[in-house]
């Protein structure tokens, strides 16, 4: 809920018959707006397990019709996790007349002894009605005062009563809940996210999904030289950021043997850049199999030695796909704050063995060149090494309860609320 509405929680959703779902950017898509709305409706149904008839379009918003026995507070929190949703409002529907609005509002505010302050805010999608938004606010404000001891506070009310007039119907609600915003998952293509067990990469993956991309996840581990707990931690992070009801995959890539070869054969200062170049090559092959159009990393400029401009250029040189770095201009405090906001921070700071910290050189290079790395890599059969890493990967299905091949649409069956991850063998889409 918004800060102004936190006190309205005891009244939120009283007698609710609908949940109104508002979006922001989707409304700016012009001729493509219908496609974006359809995807958003599809994702909402998949996340919550709703039937198609329950979710429908209104002007500038979607509406979920609650059936008998359904509680708004069971459904709304799940809807608020769906990318593309700006906020939701539990509401009661009625005809768009002042008299019906008074009748509908009466049981929503009656019987409350607390001395709240309140305001009425009305939105009107059509000017064909014989009254204005100000008329509604004035009439309903007077009606509330006749029923309660509440005082008017237009700037910072304890209770904000919202009225939405849409398609000759009215919706009256209290207790708006915020969503993640952005674009619906699936409208911006697929990306392959390199996931560590740290703070940065889950935030980077979340930000790309918030822009409508579907994420395929790739994690590199050094088991048995690092613990299996680090892999479980990554699975937990994927569960936390991945949209419920959307099918995708997590690749667990065994990296220890190649690291051993790099340590044995190459200059110590270049180890981390060599690790990263091989990771990018492997992720790019996986992306091609999964029909992904870009790679995503959690790198931030200058945060560690491998993330200088020179080293990032050297890493990018081996990628056949663009590498997106949504955190590139953020400092660590900003990234931590974002991790706290999306709920991954506490998991990310749990102790774990990171594959890049395994066999870390004492003085990693900060100013490498592509020529330096090409020379260092001459001792490897690069294609063979990459192929072996991809083939040895453990592949898990993310987001639904049974494995499947399609990752660009929700499953037909209603998913459980929590994401599941199940192992399968590597295979091309």
Domain range 3-178, its CATH number among 3.40.50.10540, 3.30.2130.30, 3.40.640.10, 3.40.50.800 = 3.30.2130.30
Instruction: Using the predicted structure, report yes or no on whether residue 352 has a pLDDT greater than 80.
Output: no
- Under a CB-based contact definition with an 8 Å cutoff, are residues 385 and 239 in contact? no
pLDDT tens, position by position, 164-180: 999 889 999 999 999 99
* Mean pLDDT across the chain: 87
Q: How confident is the model at residue 415 (pLDDT cuts 50, 70, 90)?
A: very low
Q: Where are the domains of the chain?
A: 3-178, 190-424
Q: Is the pLDDT of residue 272 over 50?
A: yes
Read off the pLDDT of each residue in 24-29 and give the average, rounded to a whole number: 74
* Secondary element (H or E) of residue 38: helix 33-48
379 CB burial (10 A radius; 0-12, 13-18, 19+): exposed
Our CA angle for 25, 236, 346, nearest 5°, is 80
Cβ contact 209:215 at 8 Å: yes
CATH of 190-424, one of 3.40.47.10, 3.30.70.20, 3.40.1800.10, 3.40.50.620: 3.40.50.620
Distance CA 415, CA 46 (A): 7
Residue with tokens 């994690």: 219
Q: How far apart are CA 397 and CA 295, in angstroms?
A: 19
Distance between CA atoms of 384 and 392, rounded to whole angstroms? 12
- pTM check: above 0.75: yes
Q: How far apart are CA 290 and CA 294, in angstroms?
A: 11
Cite the DSSP H helix spans in 211-354: 229-241, 256-265, 271-289, 309-316, 332-342, 345-348
Torsions phi, psi of 254, nearest 5?
A: -75, 115
* pLDDT tens-place string over residues 222-266: 887 777 888 999 999 999 999 988 999 999 999 999 999 998 888
């Amino acid at each position: 809920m918004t800060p102004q509405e936190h006190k309205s929680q005891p009244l939120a959703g009283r007698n609710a018959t609908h949940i109104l779902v508002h979006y922001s950017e989707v409304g700016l898509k012009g001729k493509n707006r219908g496609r974006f709305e359809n995807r958003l409706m599809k994702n909402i149904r998949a996340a919550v397990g709703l039937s198609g008839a329950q979710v429908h379009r209104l002007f500038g918003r979607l509406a979920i019709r609650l059936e008998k026995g359904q509680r708004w507070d069971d459904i709304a929190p799940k809807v608020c996790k769906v990318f593309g949703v700006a906020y939701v409002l539990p509401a009661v529907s009625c005809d768009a007349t002042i008299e019906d609005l008074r009748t509908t509002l009466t049981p929503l505010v009656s019987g409350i002894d607390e001395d709240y302050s309140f305001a009425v805010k009305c939105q009107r999608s059509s000017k064909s009605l014989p009254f204005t938004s100000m008329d509604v606010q004035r009439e309903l404000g007077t009606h509330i005062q006749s029923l309660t001891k509440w005082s008017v506070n237009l700037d910072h009310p304890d209770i904000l009563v919202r009225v939405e007039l849409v398609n000759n119907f009215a919706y009256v609600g209290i207790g708006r809940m915020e969503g993640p915003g952005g674009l619906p998952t699936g409208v911006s293509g697929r990306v392959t996210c390199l996931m560590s067990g740290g703070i940065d990469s889950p935030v980077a993956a979340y930000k790309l999904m918030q822009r409508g991309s579907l994420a395929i996840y790739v994690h590199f581990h050094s088991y048995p030289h690092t613990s299996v707990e680090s892999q479980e931690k990554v699975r937990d992070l994927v569960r936390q950021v991945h949209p419920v009801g959307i099918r995708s995959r997590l690749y667990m890539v065994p990296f220890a043997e190649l690291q051993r070869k790099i340590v044995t054969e190459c200059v110590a200062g270049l180890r981390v850049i060599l690790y990263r170049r091989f990771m990018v090559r492997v992720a790019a092959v996986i992306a091609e199999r999964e029909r992904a159009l870009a790679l995503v990393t959690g790198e931030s400029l200058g945060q560690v030695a491998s993330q200088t401009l020179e080293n990032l250029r050297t890493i990018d040189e081996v990628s056949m796909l663009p590498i997106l770095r949504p955190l590139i201009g953020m400092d660590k405090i900003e990234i931590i704050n974002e991790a706290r906001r999306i709920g991954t921070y506490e998991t990310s700071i749990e102790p774990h063995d990171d594959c890049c910290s395994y066999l870390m050189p004492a003085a990693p290079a900060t100013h490498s060149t592509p020529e330096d790395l090409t020379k260092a890599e001459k001792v490897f059969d690069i294609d063979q090494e990459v192929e072996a890493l991809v083939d040895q990967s453990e592949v898990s299905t993310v987001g639904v309860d049974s494995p499947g091949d399609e990752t660009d649409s929700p499953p037909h069956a209603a998913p459980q609320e929590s994401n599941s991850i199940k192992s399968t063998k590597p295979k091309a889409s």
